Amino acid sequence: MQSVDLDLEDARRRYHFAFTREDHDRLPFYSALMMALESDLVAQELLANVRVEQRNPMLVLAALHLAALRGHPELTPIYRDARWGLITDPEGAARQVVDVLNTEPELVRDELHRSTQTNEPGRSAIFQAVIALIAQPGHSSINLIDVGTSAGINLYFDRFPVRAEDDENPLTLVCRDETSVDRTLPLPDVFSRVGIDPSPLDLAVEDDRLWLQACLWPEEPRRLARLDAIIAQRSSWPATTVLRGTVAERLGDAIALGESSSLTMVINSYVAAYFSEDDQRAYFEDMVERCRNDNVAWISLESPFMVNWPTSSTSGESARKGATQVLVTLPGESPRQWGWCHHHGLWLALELPD
């Protein structure tokens, strides 16, 4: 499989730096697996073969998890034990998984055409707070557009209870508000829910559901249980429209589907990094223009290291700690930073501009 062009050292480094220290502490099995993959030649070659924009160790982890979810005789029991916290020898379990990978590399190779498309509902805790604030002065209904919607889960931002502490409801999003956030503000009615994605996932399709589950980490049972609950309940939630294509191709179509008297709220979370550099610049400029001239607001939850955006904010402590920038553009205004949040929505620190 190896060709002269493969950069195995680059692949090794990607495995090495894929997890934070906090991830290593709380995910003993996945941490041991990541370290085992880092030093395995087959794993390095597989990752080095992936197209550059998806050359992410999470794609390899998800492909192995997918094989387990599909019932692989050796992987399934290991991943099941990981989900229920029953692995007593993480290094031994990781070695077993890497042995399977060496015997059956096609388990991963055949899935590398896919993209890591984790669809994180926790971000809806942030969207709820920010949308409620934007909607307050007179916007009782909105047209919602989620750019890079994956399976469209955040089009249901208003279906999830947000609490400071967890409870029995698998749909509950736990979010710690580090500044005062009025969670009693009413949410607007949502006239239309439109997602845009070049390769959307469909919760009604079994292979797409499995891939979404595979993109989650087995040692995070709460997130897996939430996805199960969303899959079970989604058919009773309002209809959505998902437009296949890039944001450059479909944003105009998505806006046209809304009700003209309602505010159009465009949201994106952990998407822009997947655009080409030209598309990153074009999207930013397009959104600034639309907000300036039309009844459009924009909420962007992205890494602050979006260096092609003038709002890039890389020097502060929050950026250094890996926080997500909450960028808001109100109708008729310019983009402003409204604070920071956790990349999965576990905390929110709003710092509203004057």
Ligand X SMILES: C[S@@+](CC[C@H](N)C(=O)[O-])C[C@H]1O[C@@H](n2cnc3c(N)ncnc32)[C@H](O)[C@@H]1O
Contacts to ligand X by CB under 6 A:
115, 117-120, 123, 147-148, 150, 154, 196-199, 246-247, 269-271, 274-275, 279
Please tell me the total number of residues recorded for the chain in this structure.
354
**Closest separation in Å from C-beta 154 to ligand X:** 6
Q: CA 330, CA 298: separation in Å to the nearest integer?
A: 7
User: If you compute the radius of gyration of the chain from its CA atoms, what whole number of angstroms results?
Assistant: 21
Between residues 95 and 234, which has the closer beta carbon with respect to ligand X? 234
Residue sitting closest to ligand X (CB): 148
Tokens of 188: 């607007």
Between residues 75 and 156, which has the closer beta carbon with respect to ligand X? 156
CA-CA distances (angstroms) from residue 131 to 109, 190, 287?
41, 11, 17
Q: CA 304, CA 43: separation in Å to the nearest integer?
A: 31
**DSSP SS3 for 163:** strand
Between residues 109 and 250, which has the closer beta carbon with respect to ligand X? 250
CA-based max dimension of the chain: 62
Between residues 115 and 264, which has the closer beta carbon with respect to ligand X? 115
DSSP secondary structure string, 98-143?
HHHHHH-THHHHTTTTS------TTHHHHHHHHHHHHHTTT--EEE
Between residues 29 and 156, which has the closer beta carbon with respect to ligand X? 156
User: What type of residue sits at position 257?
Assistant: L
Residue pair 246/279 in contact (Cβ under 8 Å)? The answer is yes
**Closest separation in Å from C-beta 280 to ligand X:** 9
Between residues 38 and 120, which has the closer beta carbon with respect to ligand X? 120
**Closest separation in Å from C-beta 171 to ligand X:** 16
**Closest separation in Å from C-beta 341 to ligand X:** 12
**Closest separation in Å from C-beta 289 to ligand X:** 18
**Closest separation in Å from C-beta 219 to ligand X:** 19
Closest to 297 in 3D by CA, of 255, 263, 256: 263
DSSP secondary structure string, 59-102?
HHHHHHHHHHHTT-TTHHHHHHHHHTT--S-HHHHHHHHHHHHH
Between residues 93 and 201, which has the closer beta carbon with respect to ligand X? 201
Between residues 117 and 262, which has the closer beta carbon with respect to ligand X? 117
In 73-92, which positions are buried (b, 16+ CB within 10 angstroms) versus exposed (e)?
Answer: eebeebbeebbeeebeebee
User: What type of residue sits at position 113?
Assistant: H
**Closest separation in Å from C-beta 96 to ligand X:** 29
Between residues 80 and 234, which has the closer beta carbon with respect to ligand X? 234
**Closest separation in Å from C-beta 244 to ligand X:** 10
**Closest separation in Å from C-beta 247 to ligand X:** 4
**DSSP SS3 for 41:** helix
Beta strands in the chain (DSSP E): 141-147, 162-163, 173-174, 176-177, 189-197, 241-244, 263-269, 296-302, 324-329, 336-341, 347-350
